[in-house]
Structure 1
Amino acid sequence: MIEWVPTADGVAAVGRNGSVRLARTDWERTPPALPLPYPSDAGIAGRLTALELDAPAHPDGLPTDGYVPDGEHVVAVGRDDDLEAAVRFEGPARVATAADSTRLAFPEPSPVAVGVRDAPPAPETIPVPRTPAGVAAAVGVAGGRLPDGPERSFPPERPHPPLVEYDDVPAPGTGERAVRFAVPDDLDHVLVAAPLAYYLGADLTVGADAPLLSVPETGFEYAFGSLPTFASEVADALRRVVHLDRCARAVEAERLDPGPLAGLGLDPAAVRGVPPATRYATFLDADLDALPDWHLSTYVEAGYERARALPALLDRLSLVYPAEATEMSPRDLLSASLDDFYRGAVSISPLAPELGVGDAHAWLADGEVVDAFKTTPRAFENARSRRDRGDALSVAVVLNDPAMDDELAVADAYRDRAGAVPLSVEVHESLATDDLAAVLERPTDFVHYVGHCEAAGLECPDGYLSADSLDRSGARAFFLNACGSYREGEALVERGSVAGAVTLEKVLNEQAAKVGTAFGRLVVAGFSVERALSLARRRIMMGRDYAAVGDATARVAPSVGERGVLVVEETTRDGYAVRYDAAPNGGGSYRDPFTGDRRPRGEPSRATLDRAAMRAFLDGRAVPVRFDGDLRWPEEVAGTLDRVRGVRQSVRRP
């Protein structure tokens, strides 16, 4: 979890394990000319004449103080148990190292790619009784480890909550807490209350007739309604306190608009100076006109095995709702009338969940759903254990349907990404069952399968491969672009994968190729599995036939810079009315690309750009663009702008 924040002379990468400051001279953002050092969780790329990092260099063969000749080099920096960073650059350059800094200087502006990696320690495990009180106590322990100030709204400042292990032991004590949250003695109420109780650092207890949050020292009480209203009220309260904390926090050079606080008669410095209980009693008693979009909501069917996923949900600061859904007919999916054109024959009966707020939605319950990704406790366990990576992002493309060879273009899309991330791409065609099993079982970052799926498994020339037959799934993430591949995707997650994209129903070949190519490009560009699929499936009418499984908040590849989407909302006489969406992430902020100001993630920025300004905006950015109802990339949009200009000039000629 890396956040980029500005500094007086550059930028800082902030993670749970610390931060690294990058002082930059003559900085210019450009498309990546060099691949990020790998493995990385995030990175930036551009040109500059000097770069100084506030961390010592690791011994790597470079001179500790001297001249580096022509050629490509990598220097790694970092302290013990700290955030790690590495810089890939082209010489000649001068390197100067000290006990607490590393400096690179170039004779002229030169390309660099900086990658950062945060490897937080494994969270501890605490034993709790298999009761609502036990789960509530685990939430209290986790919340007690957050910082006191509003900086707890900054994602890297929140340590991973302890994992839960059920045992015949007394519930752990949390001591006297200034904020108390009492709920009825059942697991449904505990799970729904958990995110708010965790963030407030409250003592969460069971046995109340109705949910009540109180701050005894101030006399403040906040009474909630019964389920399901309780879930919506908790969601509103959590969104409110996180947003106001974000406006008050003191993160270097962030300078968020204090307007929401000023509207309540509050000063950020004064807010930072009061105890958390007083701060939150004030926030919860306030009315706000609008709140930024929230990043994630999870719909949980109460059960103690599913409650084992709660630490992961708290870590992501997901809202929690009860899992409620209605059945959908094939006609609801707009598929019944198109059967003759579909490939494959496997289908399921999806459910339509009743969704609350959230940019993304996770389904932690039985059944298969549309508009939400299906997750399990095993998926989060896999996400914690899949940290080791090789020197390059490994991608395997499997084409087991010759009629779908158009989708082999995705291999080129992956290779095109090699300018930003070291990438190895293997392409396999017409794999037999044993060979496909070998590809799926060996450690790989991403497997993209194109073909058919039947009830017996993924189709091969010599039969069918069921994911249930694998010893393990070595693919960290996957895309099974085959009709009705949902069950096979679930099996891959249970055998070791973190997340993947699948189909709920039968899909047309042409549409499958569109989604597959777009998804592949997005996922290796640093988008999460869920967000990549959400964007990719907009390309086709039958987008709801695609879904994600596992921990779909996971990313396959590091992002370069701040990841966002440009939406062209309207073409006007003055140019283009555009919106920039930076995905919300539970308290982060981003740099408004139009004004340079910092904005809360989940709050879009808007501007009107003429053709020249649009070209300038797209230059050097790898941002996907929603333009004329389709998903495009900057070079495609630039070509469209040039054609429009040419047409207009020809029309004006006498």
Structure 2
Amino acid sequence: MGSDESGGRAADRVSVQPMDGGFGLRIDDRIERRRCEIRTNDSVEPAPADADAFRSPVDTAVSVTTDGLTFDEVSRGFVHGPDGPADIEYFRTTSFGPGEYVLELSGPVKIYATVRGPMEVDAQVAKLEISFERPQTVRIGARSYHERPAATVTTTDDPTDVMAAVSTFGSALKTTSSERSYPTLRGHPPAIERGDELSVPSGLTPPAEDVHVEVPERLRDVLVVAPLAYYLGAPVRPGPEPRLIVDGQSYGLDGAAGFETAVEHTLKRTFFLDCIVRTAGPRTVPLYERRVIEDRLDIPVSDRYGQSNADRLTAYMDVPYEAIAEYIPTWKLSARVEPKSESLETLPFLVNDLSVIRSPSTPTTTSTSPSPFEGGPDGTRTDSHDTNSTVQPEQADSLEQAWVGDGAPMGASKALPAAFRNRLDRDRRDGPIEIVVVCNDDQMLEERNVVEQVYGSRKELPMDVTVYEGLNTQRLRLLLESDVDFFHYIGHVDDEGLECPDGKVDAATLDDVSLDIFFLNACRSYQQGRHLIENGAIGGVVTLDDVINSGAVRIGKTLAKLLNYGFPLRSGLNIARDRSIVGSQYLVIGDGNADIAQVEPGVALLTAVDSTPDGYDLTVSTYPTSEGGMGTQFRPAIPGVDEVYLCPGTLPTFEVTAEEIREYFSTSVFPVLLDGEFTWSDRATVSDAE
């Protein structure tokens, strides 16, 4: 195994230890802070195994001798055997005959297990049981989902140099086949830093030799096409007008709808049709979107699988966008990026999310007086534009919005390059997830009491929760500079810092912020949150203006539950905002993908249940997580539902009985809108129809 900048050898990122009593294995991702368990019927002693013996890459491998395995929190699985891969389906027991098999399981970490048949596979929502006729030696490999740029490209501000830098993004793709639509087969684009001359490390050649993108030599145009060039594995070259060149054939990217819309539609069309075509491969998947869209396509899906990048793309470009638009999954992220050199360092991280990138038009700018964004007690300012203005970015057709530029955005997250760099530099951590709650406001004890009960309430996920009241300045400074996974502050903040009984702590004066994620539930906490990011934190939730206590408590309680459940900051706050009239004053700063816990079913869910005369309508909305980006598939744990659906987005509504809902609610704990009222699946009650 080679070295890894995020924490030494790759094997050190993932550890495998026997569970208490030896009845199974505990697998810990020490970078992403993920955990999964594999239980056995009898005590086992894991022995080191050859990680290179697996066909797919793994970070570490062990072998055990057992007559059965039980995997918890598996969201998706395949059995690869002599007859090809077979999908593991919920609520079904499947028998496999003699032969060599590889189990491929998606969960908090990626798991592969090499076994021998005969065997039985019993798949339930909360667990997957594998039974053998007699004890055998099983090799188990595990891989972290942690991704980081493989290299750093230095570029000047000249648009042609930026084109060369963006052209390297596609080198991160692990394939240019339709399977690139799986998030695990798209590597992280190289990082970008600004310098006096262009410098591209060797080995970053874009893989698409017969596809390229042309745009005029304008920074704005290069930024907009960056996600498309990455997904296509294509270089970006100067040209008189925006266009896509596929095997010598030209497709304009500046039609009636405009340049940015044309690029967005080309990216979404290509990605979506790749998701459809990949189902014709050896992994037969009953994809809902393929069933409803295939008859509308003039391109036989089965004929496109295995074709070259250029041949597939040529066929895709003949498909009218309007014919497929309603079935394209809801896009995860749209970003408004100011076309300036300061935006370049953030670009690879937006592209890694397949974000749609647009330039701001003329956002509304509102001066704030008195300013909530002033610097430290000496009156210094860290960003002259951010100190006295908010911006109102145009809303986009996506679950989440991000802003890269001057000002504090309303209704979007504020992406900062320092946050992404800090995440890449995250060190390995062992032990439980460390959560600290500080309540320095007696009027918000209700929030303190609730979050103390919420954090650490998941029995399968160890968390060490510490709660302080009335913490003084010295202890708060030490806390902010310590290795804490999540910091939840309840109290008051002003331009001088976070309030304590004996004074204030200005985050700008901290030497080194080692905590990862924070929630500053206080008035006007934006600038203090920004200082935390600049000094080492990854992401957080802050406020732009004054918030009334009752509204802040409601937001705090809801967001705490969503984060504990596994929602990332950005999507969690989007839901929590709707729970309070002061929700518009909250925003995410830094890396909006940051989270504090893994989500149980693999993707984050919000389920709406509405009463009908004959029963209930059940509608599931899926949200992306660090394990499940664009291209993830999801099958709801509803009896009788055999199809899988692309994430994120809202699934079709299912007509269900009260008993089916109760069974669905028992699978895990997730947020529910029950006849419009916000609650949780372990608290929701439904009645049988009369």
Task: Place the TM-score, normalised by the shorter chain, in its bin.
Answer: 0.7 to 0.9
Between the aligned partners of 1:628 and 1:242, the Cα distance in structure 2 is 35
User: Which is worse superposed, 350-359 or 367-376?
Assistant: 350-359
* Residue aligning to 2:644: 598
Query: Residues 457 and 488 of structure 1 are in contact (CA less than 8 Å); yes or no, is this contact kept in structure 2?
Result: yes
* Alignment root-mean-square deviation, CA: 3.8
> Normalising to structure 1: TM-score of the pair?
0.78
Equivalences for residues 186-265 of structure 1 within 5 A = 186-206=218-238, 208-217=239-248, 219-225=249-255, 229-249=258-278, 250=281, 252-257=283-288, 258-259=290-291, 260-265=293-298
Aligned to 1:358: 398
Alignment identity in percent? 29
Q: Distance in 1 between matches of 2:306 and 2:216?
A: 34
Residues in 1 aligned to 2:646 and 2:283: alpha-carbon distance in whole angstroms: 15
Cα distance between partner residues in 1 of 2:235 and 2:66: 57
Instruction: Using the TM superposition, give the Cα deviation of residue 426 of structure 1 relative to its aligned residue in structure 2, in angstroms.
Output: 0.6
Kindly provide the amino acid, as one letter, of the partner of residue 162 in structure 1. Answer: P
Distance 2:541 2:207 in 1: 44
**Alignment partner of 1:471 is 2:500:** no
- Counterpart residue number, 2:152: 125
**Could you tell me which residue of structure 2 aligns to residue 179 of structure 1?**
211
**Contact 2:570/2:592 (8 A) holds in 1:** yes
User: Would the aligned equivalents of 1:163 and 1:308 in 2 still touch at CA under 8 Å?
Assistant: yes
Letter in 1 for 2:298: G
CA distance in 2, matches of 1:389, 1:470: 22
Cα shift at 1:139: 2.0
Question: For residues 547-562 of structure 1, what are the structure 2 equivalents within 5 Å?
Answer: 547-562=587-602
Structure 1 spans left out of the alignment, 5+ residues: 1-15, 21-33, 69-76, 103-114, 332-346, 650-654
In structure 2, the residue corresponding to 1:565 is in which secondary structure?
strand
**SS of residue paired to 1:515:** helix
**Offset at residue 581 of structure 1 (A):** 0.8
Which residue number in structure 2 is paired with residue 279 of structure 1? Answer: 312
Q: 1:569 to 1:558 in 2, by over 3 A?
A: closer
Would the alpha carbon gap of residues 330 and 630 (structure 1) be closer, same or farther in structure 2, given more than 3 Å must change? farther
Asked if 2 retains the 8 angstrom alpha-carbon contact of 1:392 and 1:424, the reply is yes
CA distance in 2, matches of 1:67, 1:278: 48
The match for 2:566 among 523, 526, 533 is 526
- 1:461 aligns with 501
Quickly say closer, same or farther: Cα 1:590–1:330, change in 2 above 3 A: farther
Secondary structure (helix, strand or coil) at the match of 2:230 reads helix
Rounded to whole Å, the distance in 1 between the matches of 2:282 and 2:450 is: 40
SS in structure 1 at match of 2:339: coil
Q: Which residue pairs with 1:100 in the alignment?
A: 139
Deviation at 1:144, TM superposition (A): 3.9
Give the secondary-structure state (helix, strand or coil) at the position aligned to 2:419: helix
Answer whether contact 1:56 1:101 (CA < 8 A) is retained: no
In structure 1, the residue matched to 2:330 is 293
Q: Secondary structure at the match of 1:636?
A: coil
Matching residue of 1:9:
none
CA contact (8 A) 1:161 1:315 kept: yes
User: Where does 1:301-340 land on structure 2 (aligned, <5 Å)?
Assistant: 301-327=338-364
- 2:673 maps to 626
Q: Which runs of 5+ in 2 are unaligned?
A: 1-9, 15-24, 52-59, 69-102, 114-126, 369-386
CA distance in 1, matches of 2:185, 2:138: 26
Deviations 1:385-405 (A, max 9, x none): 125222111000000001110
Between Structure 1 and Structure 2, how many residues are aligned?
567
1:339 equivalent in structure 2 = none
Q: Is the 1:213–1:223 Cα contact (8 Å) retained in structure 2?
A: yes
Give how far 1:167 is off: 4.4
Contact 1:41 1:559 in 2 (8 A): no
1:373 matched to 2:406: no
How does 1:537-548 map onto structure 2 within 5 Å? 537-548=577-588
Q: Would you say the 8 A contact 2:206–2:233 is kept in 1?
A: no
For CA contacts below 8 A with separation 6 or more, give which structure has more relative contact order. 1
- In the alignment, what sits opposite 2:631? 587
**Aligned-residue offset at 1:318:** 1.1
Letter in 2 for 1:123: A
Please say if 1:134 is aligned against 2:181. no
What is the Cα deviation at residue 304 of structure 1?
Answer: 2.1
Q: In the aligned structure 1, how far is the partner of 2:169 from the partner of 2:282?
A: 23
8 A contact 1:413–1:521 mirrored in 2: no
The one-letter code of the counterpart of 1:234 is V
Q: Is the 8 A contact 2:42 2:66 kept in 1?
A: no
- 1:224 to partner: Cα distance: 1.4
Q: Is the 8 A contact 2:637 2:667 kept in 1?
A: no
Which deviations, in whole Å up to 9, do the C-alpha atoms of 1:201-235 show, x marking residues without a partner? 222112x3321112244x34234149x93222211
Question: Secondary structure of 1:517's match?
Answer: helix
Q: CA deviation at 1:175?
A: 8.8
In 1, are the aligned partners of 2:215 and 2:240 still within 8 Å (CA)?
yes
Q: What is the TM-score normalised by the length of structure 2?
A: 0.74
Give the structure 2 partner of residue 535 of structure 1.
Answer: 575
Q: Deviations over 1:585-629 (max 9, x none)?
A: 322211133313111113422212232222111012211112344
Cα 1:253/1:116, change in 2 over 3 Å: farther
Partner residue in 1 for 2:187 = 159
- Partner secondary structure for residue 579 of structure 1: strand
